[in-house]
């Protein structure tokens, strides 16, 4: 049975009607029309669906809308703007990371949450923080360079 939920998404309150067990990912994409996050595996294993809930990186494909509560949801579109991109968005362009770009949502959102609390991470710390995000194009080294570049920009 559908219920009304009010979500704060990228700084704007949005009301939707959905079954409480509906994954947040489906609400963001299907009900609110957001292009990011992406559906990847549906099992919380690839990271393409990553969003921030009150600053924490979570897989939205496994998070029921009823579990969101009053937490603020931030998607890749809410991380920065074309006029003022997040340092990770800038670094991804500068390092020419994108290939197919399907997984970038997960990498950037996971790295952004990590870098918020880790201003000068080592390569090993970055690899550990990003271990649950998958890329099939093989841009892992470029991603590592972009995260390091963003950390330097933020530090």
Residues, the chain? 155
Query: Which pLDDT value is given to residue 55?
Result: 96
Compare 155 and 147 and report the one with higher pLDDT. Answer: 147
Please give the average per-residue pLDDT across 140-152, as a whole number.
Answer: 95
Query: Which pLDDT value is given to residue 100?
Result: 80
Query: Which pLDDT value is given to residue 136?
Result: 84
Query: Which pLDDT value is given to residue 98?
Result: 77
The dihedral built from the CA positions of residue 31, 7, 57 and 98, taken in this order, carries a sign that is: positive
Cα atoms in the 13 Å half-sphere on the side-chain side of 50: 26
Query: Which pLDDT value is given to residue 96?
Result: 92
* Distance (Å, whole) CA 67 – CA 18: 13
Query: Which pLDDT value is given to residue 154?
Result: 93
Q: Would you place residue 135 in the very low, low, confident or very high pLDDT band (cuts 50, 70, 90)?
A: confident
pLDDT single digits (tens) 60-112: 999 999 999 999 999 999 999 999 999 999 999 999 997 787 889 999 999 99
Cα-based distances in Å from 148 to 65, 98, 121: 33, 16, 8
The domains located in the chain, with CATH, are: 3-79 (3.10.20.30), 87-154 (1.10.150.120)
pTM listed for this prediction: 0.93
Cα-based distances in Å from 41 to 26, 33, 44, 122: 13, 20, 7, 29
- Sheet of 56-59, strand order: 12-18, 3-9, 72-74, 50-53, 56-59
């Amino acid at each position: 049975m559908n219920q009304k939920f009010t979500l704060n998404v990228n700084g704007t309150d949005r009301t939707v009607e959905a079954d409480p067990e509906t994954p947040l990912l489906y609400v963001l994409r299907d009900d609110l029309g957001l292009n990011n996050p992406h559906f990847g595996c549906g099992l919380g294993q690839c990271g393409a669906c990553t969003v921030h809930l009150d600053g924490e990186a979570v897989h939205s494909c496994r998070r029921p809308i009823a579990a969101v509560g009053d937490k603020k949801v931030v998607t890749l579109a809410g991380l920065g703007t074309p006029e003022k991109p997040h340092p990770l968005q800038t670094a991804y362009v500068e390092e020419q990371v994108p290939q197919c770009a399907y997984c970038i949502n997960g990498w950037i959102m996971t790295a952004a949450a990590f870098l918020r609390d880790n201003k000068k991470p080592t390569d090993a710390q970055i690899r550990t923080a990003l271990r649950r995000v998958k890329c099939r194009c093989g841009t892992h080294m470029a991603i590592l360079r972009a995260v390091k570049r963003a950390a330097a920009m933020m530090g």
